[in-house]
Amino acid sequence: MMPFERFSMTKILCVGEVMLEMSDMGGGLYKKSFAGDTFNVAHYLNVVTRGRIKADYLTAVGTDAESEACLEFMREKGVLTSKCQRNPNRTIGLFVLSNDEKGEKQYGYWRGQSAARLLFDRPQDVSGYDLIYLSGITAAITENKSNLIQSITAAKQHGAQIAYDFNHRVRLWEPGAARAFAEQILPQVDIVKISDEELAFLYPDKSVAEFSTEYPQAEWVLTCGSEKGEVWKNGGMLAQQKFTAVTEVVDSSAAGDSFIASYLAGKLAGASPLDGLKRGHAIASQVVLGKGSIVAIDLTKLD
């Protein structure tokens, strides 16, 4: 059982983009929802802490009906929207979600009109938070990345912890651009999540042990699909956990998002890295059984 009283004064900010999600249900039918990697994290933080954490979400949306519906959906899912900005000349992005026979997600994106792309056209004041979470997708869609770096660096100087999920998407930016951004953000980061596939793709000649030595202040969470997870710091492995794979995966969307949300919640509550890996896998194992990014969770299975 997680000591929920520790969450009462915790302030978390997630930064990124929420999109209109259309999930292919088969037979020409689609289910409408809203999702986005850092928003998914904010939602599942609320779920696993039983509502004790309501993260603020920093993004930009339009003033149209779909943008309004998106904000309402966020509030329904336990995410605070006071930091959401409105752009009358833009709207939200759209993605169509389908799955292969193994349940692996397959996306089609339409996000050129997304207001979130212009969110950091000027630096944003993101001070006053205990933890700020952003991802490679946040960075990839941001047109002015230097203002994003400046905003995060200022928050770090004011005492915030920074969590960064590589969450690399080949269609969003080139590997060189992703590596260049990582070189700028990693000195500020306290918790990093990267998958074995991302590590091999972006840094084929580098190990997570080497990374954790190069950036010793950060706790590195390495995920290896549904097989195992590891936590590294300053060149040493703090924890390793082999996972029992889910055999009937329906949809792998948000598996990694829910995993890191549960891991972060555990860390904020004082759980060990090993317990964090176990709880992360426990929630991700439920998420992959439902269609779409936001699914119902049986909290009794997390205790």
Structural domain contains residue 116: yes
Contact 148, 142 (CB under 8 A): yes
**3-state secondary structure at position 52:** coil
Q: Give the whole-angstrom CA distance, residue 177 versus residue 162.
A: 20
Structural domain contains residue 143: yes
| Torsion angle of C-alpha atoms 187, 166, 87, 83, degrees rounded to 10 | -60
Work out whether strand 131-135 and strand 161-165 pair parallel, antiparallel, or are unpaired.
Answer: parallel
CATH number of the domain at 26, please: 3.40.1190.20
Structural domain contains residue 160: yes
Contact 290, 251 (CB under 8 A): yes
Per-residue confidence band for 103, with pLDDT thresholds at 50, 70 and 90: low
Structural domain contains residue 171: yes
Per-residue confidence band for 140, with pLDDT thresholds at 50, 70 and 90: very high
Range of the domain at 186: 7-302
Structural domain contains residue 292: yes
Q: What is the mean pLDDT of residues 45-65?
A: 96
Q: Give the whole-angstrom CA distance, residue 277 versus residue 264.
A: 10
Structural domain contains residue 151: yes
Helices (H), 221-269: 255-268
pLDDT, position 61:
98
Structural domain contains residue 2: no
Is 60 exceeded by the pLDDT of residue 3? Answer: no
Is 90 exceeded by the pLDDT of residue 261? Answer: yes
Q: What's the structural domain count of the chain?
A: 1
pLDDT, position 130:
96
pLDDT, position 50:
93
Provide long-range contacts, Cβ within 8 A and 24+ apart, for 1-5.
1/303, 2/48, 2/49, 2/265, 2/266, 2/269, 2/271, 3/269, 3/270, 4/49, 4/50, 4/52, 4/269
